[in-house]
């Protein structure tokens, strides 16, 4: 009897350890799934997701790539927003590539084609700029996908918007690290037989860190935050990007998004209220 009792205890102990291992595996799988679904550990989302984008929402569809994270709107044919980290490690000098449809979209969704913009009077405007991701072929291909594009007026795209993009890279070459989020707001029509919406305005938020690799705790009330809101129209090519500076608060009010959400609420409020 005693031997049987000891054997039973050994079996129970073995089953207990098997149960513990299974629970640990299950929790690990859940963590991996949550990361895949939310992108929470992507370096491009250090300051948080502006919206509740997930892989289950067609109007706020999360696309996580090594080069950036963006929220895509199937019904509008453009991204809601894109976020990316920028430091010197991302910069190169590869030539531009041809635009391509994004085959990573769910089956049955319309894949915007490069020729949908042909004769539309709008540029294929990058969200994540080509020159921000031109060190490797893989990086370049990622930013030339049509999900990273929205209809942008030529005077905006080739004028103040381009000058702001160049200024950001100047900061990076001086040793800074940037966290950038951009997107469109409002509606000024559509192209491609209504498949692609034209935003009325385009906005961008840039948080400037002193050097690469600094933790989120290094952000203070003195950390530079650049926020701009530009009209997506002709006639502004010679305007300075500085003339469109605004506050993060104003962009939040316009879009309904929540920026800098991983910061302490008090610090977040200070940074979002100022016009840098």
Handedness of CA 257, 70, 109, 117 (dihedral sign): positive
Q: Answer yes or no: do 20 and 73 share one domain.
A: no
Q: Which of 69, 81, 72 is nearest to 44 (CA)?
A: 69
Q: Answer yes or no: do 127 and 232 share one domain.
A: yes
Q: Read off the DSSP letter of residue 61.
A: E
Exposed / middle / buried, residue 57 (Cβ in 10 Å: 0-12, 13-18, 19+): middle
Q: Answer yes or no: do 235 and 158 share one domain.
A: yes
**What's the pLDDT tens digit per position in 122-142?**
999 999 999 999 999 999 999
Question: What's the pTM value of the predicted model, to 2 decimals?
Answer: 0.86
Tokens of 99: 């635009």
Q: Read off the DSSP letter of residue 198.
A: P
Residue 190, beta-bridge partner list: 197
**What's the pLDDT tens digit per position in 205-262?**
999 999 999 999 999 999 999 999 999 999 999 999 999 999 999 999 999 999 999 9
Q: Answer yes or no: do 186 and 255 share one domain.
A: yes
- Reply yes or no on whether 126 is catalytic: yes
Q: Answer yes or no: do 117 and 167 share one domain.
A: yes
Q: Answer yes or no: do 170 and 262 share one domain.
A: yes
Exposed / middle / buried, residue 19 (Cβ in 10 Å: 0-12, 13-18, 19+): exposed
pLDDT beyond 50 at 35: no
pLDDT beyond 70 at 117: yes
Catalytic pick among 126, 133, 176, 204: 126
CA–chain centroid gap for 27, Å, is 28
């Amino acid at each position: 009897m005693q031997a049987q009792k000891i054997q039973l205890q050994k079996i129970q102990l073995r089953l207990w350890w098997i149960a513990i291992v299974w629970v640990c595996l299950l929790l690990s799988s859940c963590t991996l799934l949550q990361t895949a679904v939310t992108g929470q550990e992507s370096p491009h989302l250090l300051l948080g997701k502006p919206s509740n984008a997930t892989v289950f929402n067609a109007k706020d569809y999360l696309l996580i790539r090594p080069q950036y994270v963006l929220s895509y709107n199937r019904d509008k044919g453009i991204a809601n927003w894109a976020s990316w980290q920028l430091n010197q490690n991302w910069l190169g000098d590869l030539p531009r590539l041809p635009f391509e449809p994004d085959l990573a979209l769910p089956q049955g969704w319309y894949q915007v084609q490069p020729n949908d913009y042909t004769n539309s009077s709008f540029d294929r405007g990058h969200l994540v700029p080509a020159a921000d991701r031109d060190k490797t072929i893989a990086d370049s291909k990622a930013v030339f996908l049509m999900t990273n594009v929205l209809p942008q007026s030529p005077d905006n795209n080739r004028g103040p918007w381009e000058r702001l993009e160049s200024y950001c890279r100047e900061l990076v070459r001086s040793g800074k690290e940037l966290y950038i989020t951009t997107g469109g707001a409002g509606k000024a029509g559509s192209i491609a037989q209504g498949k692609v919406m034209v935003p009325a305005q385009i906005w961008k938020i840039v948080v400037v860190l002193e050097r690469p690799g600094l933790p989120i705790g290094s952000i203070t009330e003195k950390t530079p935050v650049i926020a701009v809101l530009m009209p997506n129209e002709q006639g502004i090519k010679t305007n300075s990007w500085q003339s469109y500076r605004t506050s993060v608060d104003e962009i939040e009010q316009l879009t309904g998004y929540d920026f800098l959400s991983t910061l302490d609420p008090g610090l977040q409020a200070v940074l979002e209220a100022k016009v840098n």
